[in-house]
Amino acid sequence: MVNHKIDIFNYIKSDVENKIYNNPVKLIIKANSFEKAKASLTIKKNQTTISFQNVKFNSEISINVDEGIEDEISIGFHNCFIDSFSDFALESKNMVLFFGNCFVQNLRVQSRNLKSIKLNNCFGSYFIEGIKNVNVSYSEENIFLKDWVNQIKTEKQLQNLLNYKTIFHITDAESINFYGHEIEEKRKQQLIKERLLKSDGKYEGFGLDRQAYKKNKLKRILTLKEKELLNINIDLSYNIGFNHIKTQVSNLLLEAISLGGKAKGEVRIEDCKINNIYIRDFSPKSDFSLYNIKPLVGKGNFEVHNSNLDNTWFNAVSLKNYFVVFHKSSFINTKFSSTVFPSVKELKSSISSVKNIHYPNEIKDKKSFYRDMYELFLELKQAFDKRGNSFESQKMKSVAHEFLYKIEDWKVSKSDFWNNKIILGLNRLSNFHGISIRNAFFLALIIILVFHSLNVLSFESVEFGYKDWGEFKDIVSNEIRYLFSIANPAHKLSSLAPVNEITGWTYMTSFFSRIFIGFAFYQFVAAFRRFGK
């Protein structure tokens, strides 16, 4: 297969516009051509040296640069299809690559000599390692209808493109910036007035402006359903010793984002809708913050494994809309602001997946799993205590005590049984470790009815049935009086039975009812005070 070579300083227009290449293409940057272009002032700072427009590369494209070229050289690809891209033999330290509205099936860039790579509205697979600057953006302002129509002939093809799994594997980049921009309502009205906006297959307010179409100024915004089709994934890795400066991800609609390694610089993820967040073996050395994060569609996954998040700030993260899974991670110094966790029931359900995956031996690993989860949720409780968030703190404590209850088994010493298992079990039953008013209410109601029944059945004058409605009313009136009397832990013994019918059974019922009903009332009040603890 013959390679097609293009000297970026000496080419013809037909090589870079509306062209189809079926064989591999090699971009050549020769030292002698570079010197001639430099002498003729062809090379200008902040300007693209060569730009490919509407070109289809059905095979590999690579770059070969001679040594000694230190000036900044910028190569751009606009509305191109690229089967494979490689930075083989890239020696220049100031090379800048730009891809706009491109589909790249496989891009691999691993040269530390590359100055930066910029992508706008691109789809495909990108493997980037050791680059100084990575800049990726998705913006409605740059969706021009003519460009998209040239590449996407039907709405079905558009859906396939939006739904195509686009993934960015980025390792050891000094500066990483992902950002999105949606057209605001004020700007939409301006574009409508200028006849430059197309939405949902119709031109807003005006007919098709052919002149604007030809000039490639007519814009296309995505509908909500089309945005929900986006399948953009980001995988960021940081190795020890690499000079990472900053990572920022903002205003994006993502299917998933993964973080791993030891980031030296600041990492910020803000104002994003992300369906799945995976933090694995991640220990940021500087600040790591998540702000205003929620799923794009439905209920997502938020997983943290083997990570140290002591320098982390969760601010307005909608964890209640995620299946949350934490495993062997540190949260004791993590800050939580305006962050609400899922309910206790949902937390227990999502945590069960950790047990199935990381603790496969049901018998041998059971206690280790419960102990790890107990300590983890205890750390989360302490983190919320530091912020004064008693509501979430109580929730974390209840889950921690639930796992502590499961650690203890029935084959323990008598002292441990009474000190641990029974106490935890009673708290679990009565108000689920301080957070369930419903449990406490029904427990109090059941205990009152049980002791009332035991008390009434001890009466010598007790009879079943009634002769008339008058007698029925008297029976109901007396039953209510006895019921409220037994419900009062400070009741008088004489209020529990008719005159001359107080027996030893009445004394015993009165004694034990005071203990059990008093306990139930205490647990009921304790659950009510979860906001004030």
Residues of the chain with pLDDT under 50: 89, 201-209, 212-214
SS3 59: strand
- Per the CB < 8 A criterion, the answer to whether 48 and 75 are in contact is yes
Question: What pLDDT sits at residue 314?
Answer: 93
- Per the CB < 8 A criterion, the answer to whether 301 and 325 are in contact is yes
CA–CA gap between residue 181 and residue 526 (Å, rounded): 49
Q: Which residues does residue 267 pair with via DSSP β-bridges, in sequence order?
A: 247, 288
Question: What pLDDT sits at residue 207?
Answer: 40
Phi/psi at 138 (nearest 5 deg)? -130, 120
Question: Tokens representing 83?
Answer: 């089967």
Question: What pLDDT sits at residue 110?
Answer: 79
- pTM for the whole thing? 0.78
Question: What pLDDT sits at residue 198?
Answer: 62
Question: What pLDDT sits at residue 127?
Answer: 92
Q: Which residues does residue 258 pair with via DSSP β-bridges, in sequence order?
A: 235, 278
